Each structure stands twice: as C-alpha cells, then as structure tokens.
Amino acid sequence: MRALSPAFGLLMIAAIAGGVDGPAFGLVAAAVVAVAVGVRWAVGATVAVVCVVALVVLTDPPALVAALAGLAATAYLVTRHVAEASVSAPTMLGALALSSVATFAAVVPADVAWLPAAAPFAAVVVFAVVARPFLPPD
C-alpha cells in the first residue's frame, strides 16, 4: 500500500488544483514538491496535506471537490504514515463513510436554527459510542 501513497497525494492535489489561479498556484507547486519529498520522508506528506488544506480555505471549492481532496488526503496520510500491516479495509471504509457523511451534511440544505448548537453534542456522543469498545471494563 505504501507504493500507492504518492498517487493518493497527487490525486489530492489534482482535486483542488482545478480551480486555482494567481498566487494560490504557489501552494499547488509546494504541495507537489512536498509529495515528492514525502516519498523519502514522511513529514513531506504532512506538509503536502497542510498545503492542500490552505488551498481549500483560499479557493472555497464545491463540497464534493473538497470531500474528494479530503478522502485522498486521508488515504495519503494513512498509506504513508501507518505501518504496512495496519492499513486495512475497515480503516479505508471508515474514512469513506465519514467522508460521505460530511459531504451529505455539506450538500443537503438544512434550515433548522438549532442544528449548529446541537452538532458539538452529537459529535461527543458519536465519539463516545465509537471509543466505548476501547475503554477498560468497569
């Protein structure tokens, strides 16, 4: 899986680079260089992802484009930083599922005034449910 990490890094950059012009193009170049450096040193992968996050902030792409870049960034970081045996189907399926939920939340309009106030509590509940099997028994 580690051999696929540069492909995921370039996919992450390509997803965002379509709407980039002007000074933000420097961040695209920096991200490409960071992916190249990331082949040898893992810190390059992290720098590449930070560059793409900055591009997302600067260019404000559509939700589906940002989701594709985020999913590719997740796959890139997992395949680059995690040991070969640890990259598993549940890891990738979890990333895909969470990206799908985030994309759905960004695309579907919600006119519920109290929803932003409830979101942090829902996130804590989801985290507690997911972390429950890893906690020590009472």
- Within a domain: residue 122? no
- Within a domain: residue 137? no
Per-residue pLDDT reduced to its tens digit, 21-44: 888 889 999 999 999 998 898 899
- Within a domain: residue 61? yes
- Within a domain: residue 72? yes
Q: Of the segments 56-60, 83-87, 131-135, which one has the largest average pLDDT value?
A: 56-60
Q: How many domains does the chain have?
A: 1
- Within a domain: residue 27? yes
In the prediction, which pLDDT does 1 show?
A: 65
Residue 49 · residue 69 · CB < 8 Å? no
Angle at 98 between CA 128 and CA 71, to 5 degrees: 135
- Within a domain: residue 124? no
